[in-house]
Amino acid sequence: MNVLDKIVQTKKEEVAYQKSVISIDDLIRSSHFERECYSVSQNLLQAAPYGIISEFKRQSPSKGVINDKVDVAEVSKGYCQAGASAISILTDKDYFGGSIEDLQRAKKHMTCPVLRKDFVVDEFQIYETKAIGADLMLLIAAILTRDEIVKFTDLAHKLGLEVLLEIHNEDEFNDGYYEAVDILGVNNRDLKLFRTTIQNSIDLAKILPAEQLKISESGISSTKEMDILAAEGYKGFLIGEQFMKHSDPAHELKKFMETQLAKG
């Protein structure tokens, strides 16, 4: 069993427990449920020359602890102030050290759109995503059937959420792509071996629909790499470790943004 399989197995057990203690009706009655969500896709389209979704991530299965010393609310607020198009917050506890509480705390201190980064395996999590204050949800093609991707996307849109569909290879695109998703993300990290290369985004760009809003995720460490990927049709980038490995992640994002502005 590879790491991804273990994560999915754990997630299904976690969701089963959550469903035993809280109902979808309870989630619908939450204070956040009637709010209008912010649009990450519009922020990315309006960003020049491209947008950045900056991520708060304490740890990962491949890297171990990245940064467990900084406060999620302070970092997320700083990301917004530095010019991020959206903030990604990991809510998986067992493998990434995150929590739903992290997202809820951060949401109180910022106006940027928020991506809930987690492993969605059940429609319960979609209601939960809206209830905790997120604006964009992640669907991972590697762990879902196309029928599930269609069902989950349509439900998310019904609730006012946007959807980021993440793929890692051509097979996942061919088997799982749904035209209705708001953003298509190409993850440069192999989730089975956890190797990373931006060449993955470059290669896949040749087969992806030109009209689809696309972002590249993982392994991006310089504005030079972003320029290369932007030329391939990517309008945004999800970057976490590059910022989080520093004592002041928001300051690192600010330097990235200043470099972009300097280029005009």
Residues acting as catalytic residues: 55, 57, 117, 166, 187, 217-218
Structure token digits, residue 22: 């809280």
Buried b (16+ CB within 10 A) or exposed e, 75-98: bbbbbbebbbbbbbbbbbeebbbb
CA atoms of 157 and 140, how far apart (whole Å)? 17
**194 with 62: CB under 8 angstroms?**
yes
Antiparallel, parallel or unpaired: β 183-187 and 162-167: parallel
Q: What is the DSSP string of 35-52?
A: SPPP-HHHHHHHSSS-EE
Burial classification of residue 21, based on how many CB atoms lie within 10 Å of its CB (0-12 exposed, 13-18 middle, 19 or more buried): exposed
